[in-house]
């Protein structure tokens, strides 16, 4: 089914078209969301939210961008919203624990594993994803879309609604920040 026909069928409320859309994009959406939220259960929930939003708002889709670009935009937006909610709740849990209302301090998950990582590289991947998680949100999204999902700079530009030069700048800064923090990490590991 070509994209134009798929969009037309989706806008008519075709359940088979929606099933086709989910089958075509579920792994890409899940992996993108997982790379940002770094928790499989949360990524499943957010991925479902993405497809619900796609279903509910496909009538407003004007076709100014590719369907995949629009879906990636929704996925990254929803994933960042979840990531921010989680960070805010961790800060709240930490602050309330300082005042004795909660004995548990929540830490970043050290055991995050991405399903696309080969077994031998899992330890390095955990370290890398932990450092990616510390990047500013725009850098994290650009880096993830480029290096995890394999999108081109132009596609990232469309998903993030930024100029090509802005995407290049974000990726440069993300790589620079990762080099710096990973170098510090590995130097400290040797000592």
Q: What is the CATH number of the domain that holds 17?
A: 1.10.1740.10
Q: Identify the domain containing residue 143 by its residue range.
A: 115-191
Residue 13 has pLDDT above 50, yes or no: yes
**Separation of alpha carbons 185 and 177, rounded Å:** 12
Please tell me whether residues 146 and 100 are part of one structural domain: no
Give pLDDT tens digits for 85-133: 876 555 445 434 434 444 443 444 445 555 555 555 667 777 788 888 8
Percent of the chain residues topping a pLDDT of 90: 47
Put simply, whether the predicted model's pTM sits higher than 0.85 gets the answer no
Rounded mean pLDDT, 68-88:
87
What's the mean pLDDT when you consider all of the chain?
Answer: 82
Residues in the chain: 191
Cβ contacts of residue 136 below 8 Å, gap of 6+? none
What pLDDT digit, counting tens, does each position of 22-60 carry? 999 999 999 999 988 888 999 999 999 999 999 999 988
52 and 32 within one domain: yes
Q: Cβ–Cβ contacts within 10 Å for residue 130, how many?
A: 17
Residue 4 sits in the same domain as residue 63: yes
Q: At what angle do helices 40-57 and 15-37 cross, to 10 degrees?
A: 140
Q: Looking at 107, 139, 170, which one is the last position of a domain?
A: 107
Residue 181 to residues 116, 129, 135, 169, 187: CA-CA distances in angstroms?
A: 23, 12, 10, 18, 10
Which CATH number goes with the domain that contains 168? 1.10.10.10
Q: Domain end: 89, 107, 125, which one?
A: 107
Count of CB atoms within 10 A of residue 3's CB?
A: 11
Do residue 184 and residue 138 come from a single domain?
A: yes
Whether the pLDDT of residue 14 is over 80: the answer is yes
């Amino acid at each position: 089914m070509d994209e134009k026909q798929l969009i037309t069928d989706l806008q008519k409320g075709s359940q088979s078209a929606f099933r086709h859309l989910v089958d075509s994009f579920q792994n890409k959406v899940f992996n993108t969301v997982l790379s940002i939220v770094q928790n499989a259960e949360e990524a499943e929930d957010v991925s479902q939210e993405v497809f619900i939003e796609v279903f509910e708002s496909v009538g407003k889709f004007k076709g100014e961008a590719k369907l995949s670009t629009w879906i990636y935009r929704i996925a990254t937006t929803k994933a960042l919203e979840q990531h921010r909610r989680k960070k805010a709740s961790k800060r709240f849990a930490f602050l309330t624990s300082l005042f004795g209302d909660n004995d548990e301090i929540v830490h970043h998950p050290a055991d995050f594993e991405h399903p696309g990582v080969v077994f031998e590289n899992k330890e390095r991947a955990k370290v890398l994803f932990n450092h990616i998680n510390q990047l500013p949100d725009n850098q994290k999204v650009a880096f993830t879309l480029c290096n995890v999902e394999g999108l081109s700079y132009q596609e990232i530009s469309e998903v993030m609604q930024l100029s090509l030069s802005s995407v290049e700048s974000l990726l440069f800064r993300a790589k620079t920040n990762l080099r710096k923090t990973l170098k510090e990490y590995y130097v400290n590991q040797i000592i």
